[in-house]
Structure 1
Amino acid sequence: MPLNGEKQCVNEDQQSDSESSRFSQSMASPSDYECSRQSFTSDFSSKSSSPASTSPPRDVMFDVMAAAKNLSDMTLAHEIAVNENFQLKQTALPENSLAGQVKRVVHQAFWDVLEADLSAEPPQYEYAFRLFEEIREILLSFLTGGNRLHNQICEVLDIDLIRQQAEHSAVDIQGLANYVINIMGKMCAPVRDEDIRELKATTNIVEMLRQIFRVLDLMRMDMTNFVIRNIRPHIQHHLVEYERNKFQEILEETPNAFSQTTEWLKESIDEELLSETAVSPGTEQSPTPSLSPLLVLNNCYLKLLQWDYQTKVLPETLLTDGTRLQELTEKLNQLKMIACLSLITNNMVGAITEGLPELANRLKRISAVLLEGMNKETFNLKEALNSIGVQTCAEVNKALKERGSPTLNAEAQANLIGQFSSLGEKDNPVCTLMDKRIRLYMKSLLCLPSTQKSMPPMPGGLGVIHQELEVLGCQYANIVNLNKQVYGPFYANIFRKLLFQDEAVGKTDASLPTN
């Protein structure tokens, strides 16, 4: 894979290699390393917090840094492969930050000096020459080799020749800038055409040079994203092998890299053993557990749908999908609440609103809008549910009036609003019921044979959200199935250790099914 010095699995041009290596390194942000330290070095961090402890050995620190780099590479490759919309974007420093203010001051000082130099008598061109030299290198980096345009750029932006022209007062800075803009117009993506037009309309030479660099930065980002799109099929083809090898390297560098994953699996194993004991309390226990590793693993994945992503650390094998799982869980919680509201509405006023399909769609849209952002800490769920109740009563009465039927009385409306508001309470029976049905549907997705193309039947009460639930279910199943393919051998090894006290933990085994 062309990522950070890895050997290539496919033939690609040299530019793609360098670009992919560059953006792979750029993704290794401080937050990535912090995440890696938290997940893979809990032993070291706990020791260093002790007043009597000393700094970790030097070789340990190198191992930690190597593990963090491997995790960063693996995260980037995973994101490129599974997220079709993934692309790099320019990040601007916050305006009120010290770094942002320093950057603005320094940049403005440079452009002020350049303007003063070009306005002097005679003009001073040294800074301008350096800018054109940098512009030339950027333009050449967009080209793959020594073609005609490459040679032309080298000839026109020959800095030695330009210096000689300046010595004889024959240099045309404006003409050089116009040439650069024309070349940029030929190279840029269509999305930058408007920027090129604005450049051509700029009359101040200093502002023109300043904007040239701004647009060149955008073009470099476009080129990087173009490379990402080109290498995505190759990464997807080799993703399972690549991630598995990378994680094996992490495991070799930090032997405790499976602490959270082991705890995650052990919790489900203990629950399954406890349930077996509860089903047949009088039977003699077999010395060898009869658990199905695949069943236990599926139950582990189902726990992710109720995971507290704000306070609870994810298993190490799921860090690359943490954001996707959190977003999926939040959407699922919103859909569950919509299903609960629909079930209560149908039970209480379904008989008098029968035959009004448009009403159900309107109520669903109202609920979705008012429940937007319900997973945020600042969201007032009880207030939102009360508002949905009021809106539902108004919509039902409106529909009944249009049909010439009597509207809901005050008692029925108060009862409906009260039922809606109670959904925000802990262990609400309606929420518990819908949650069980959604989990049942998700579990049936995980148990589908790989050859089956049709979706499993939708449990009762979920019809109002069946389309959205199918989409989320497919996304969830894709995440789980890929995770099984990559980490199945590691999970099998952990299962052997937990169930049979197998000592060979450092080596992987492919005995766990991945489908």
Structure 2
Amino acid sequence: MVTSGLTAASPPKFVSLEEIMQAANGMRDMALVHQIVVDEGFKLKRAEPEPNSIQRIIKDTMHKAFWDVLREQLAEDPPNYTQALNLLEEIRQGLFALLLPQHTRIKQQISEILDTELIKQQAEKGILDFKHYAQYVISVMSKLCAPVRDDRIRELTETVDVIDTFKSILETLDVMQLDMANFTLQMARPDIIACSVDLERKKFADFLAVQNDGLEHTRKWLLKHIKTNEPVPSNIEYEKFIKNVLKRAFVESCVDLLDWDEDMPYPETFMLDEERVRDLQLRTSPIDFCSYHLVGDDKQFWSRPSIDSGI
């Protein structure tokens, strides 16, 4: 008789909220690392609200209000630069975020030209040339952007309205920061892959530590394909028999994933790959369909009465 070798679930245990939150954060880290490792083309994307959603309406309303206030303040006599100063500081920090450690000279230049105190003094004296700073920022961005963003920078230089210019500057800075993040991620990918196994193992262990039974569904999935009452044949060694049983159970378990019931939770060990498993199901379902009908037609063919036999 075959024994499963799997123990029952651990007794319930009490964990603190802090431990649960740490495990949740660890799972998010593990999910990100896992995605980077298995998806060679993985790229970070900016989360955007759904069209016509409340979040989208609120975001668009807030952005419009910001630019409307800026336009109104600059149109005052004398101009009010309160909003403009906040905007220039945000752009200054955005440029810093694009710099690499070796960009010391550019960083120093940005610090000198976009000096907050200097700009405040110019604003107080009424000599702040807002458009001049826009042109400088665009020139710096043209040196730091990826070639794929050259057309966008060119459009910036052709924009006449100063408010529209700064609006496009912020939007382009966001895109460039995302480009930089993805570039850094691509460069670090070999190192991430090298340590991913140990990291995922540790994070998953942390997750299991705060669960009453973190492998419940995995256990059920595997045990379903192990016949514990199967007798051991007398003409085969026990160890070899167990090895064959486990090998067969593993194959059947993998095939089972391709025909998984959507109403059933996936094994915990596949929690990071549910979408990939579903995609694999969609890819293999036509093959299953064709195989089923081919085998069915083949059986019907061989079961047909022979014409020559006269039956």
Normalised by the size of structure 1, how large is the TM-score?
Answer: 0.51
Residues 241/201 of structure 1: CA separation in 2 closer, same or farther (3 Å cut): same
Deviant stretches of 4+, over 6 Å: 286-289
Partner of 1:302: 255
Does 2:284 align with 1:332? yes
State the Cα distance separating 1:300 from its structure 2 match.
1.6
User: In 2, Cα distance between the equivalents of 1:180 and 1:72?
Assistant: 36
How far has the Cα of 1:269 moved from its partner?
Answer: 1.3
Letter in 1 for 2:65: A
State the alpha-carbon separation in 2 of the partners of residues 432 and 84 from structure 1.
44
2:296 corresponding residue in structure 1 = 429
Mapped pair 1:268 → 2:225: yes
AA paired with 2:104?
A: N
C-alpha contact (below 8 Å) 2:23/2:203 kept by paired residues: no
The Cα of 1:78 is off from its aligned counterpart by 0.8
Partner of 1:117: 73
Check if 1:207 corresponds to 2:74. no
Q: Provide the alpha-carbon RMSD of the alignment.
A: 2.9
1:69 to 10, 25, 31: 25
Cα distance, 1:431–1:60 mapped onto 2, change above 3 Å = farther
In 2, the alpha carbon distance for the partners of 1:143 and 1:124 equals: 31
Which residue of the partner structure matches residue 269 of structure 2? 317
Match of 2:37 in 1: 81
**1:457-479 residue CA offsets vs partner (Å, 9 max, x unmatched):** xxxxxxxxxxxxxxxxxxxxxxx
Give the alignment of 1:354-503 within 5 angstroms: 429=296
Question: How do 1:14-93 and structure 2 match up within 5 A?
Answer: 59-93=15-49
**Cα distance 1:135–1:74, how it changes in 2: closer, same or farther (>3 A)?**
same
Contact 1:185 1:193 in 2 (8 A): yes
Gaps of 5+ in 1: 1-42, 45-55, 344-427, 434-515
Aligned residues: 285
- The answer to whether the aligner puts 1:102 opposite 2:58 as a matched pair is yes
CA contact (8 A) 1:80 1:86 kept: yes
Aligned to 1:135: 91
Distance 1:335 1:199, change over 3 A: farther
Match of 2:41, SS state, is coil
Given that 1:63 and 1:254 are in contact with CA atoms closer than 8 Å, whether structure 2 keeps it comes out as no
Partner AA of 1:300 in structure 2: S
- Displacement, 1:338? 5.4
- After superposition, where does 1:167-178 map in structure 2 within 5 Å? 167-178=124-135
Taking a change above 3 Å as real, the CA distance of residues 431 and 150 of structure 1, as seen in their structure-2 partners, is farther
Unaligned runs of 5+ in 2: 1-10, 301-311
Q: Does 1:254 align with 2:211?
A: yes
Instruction: Give the deviation of 1:192 after TM superposition.
Output: 1.2
State the distance in 1 between where 2:127 and 2:120 align.
Answer: 10
Q: Shift in Å at residue 291 of structure 1?
A: 2.5
More RCO (CA 8 Å, sep 6+): 2
TM-score (normalised: structure 2)? 0.83
Superposed displacement of residue 189, structure 1: 1.1
Q: SS state of the match for residue 269, structure 1?
A: coil
Q: Per-residue displacement from partner, 1:254-289 (whole Å, max 9, x unpaired)?
A: 24111111111111113xx45x45x97xx8xx9999
Q: Report the residue type matching 1:171 in the other structure.
A: L
Letter in 2 for 1:78: H
Give the secondary-structure state (helix, strand or coil) at the position aligned to 1:160: helix
Q: Quote the offset at 1:198 in angstroms.
A: 1.3
Opposite residue 247 of structure 1, the aligned amino acid is: F
Contact 2:98 2:180 in 1 (8 A): yes
Note the C-alpha offset of 1:97: 1.2
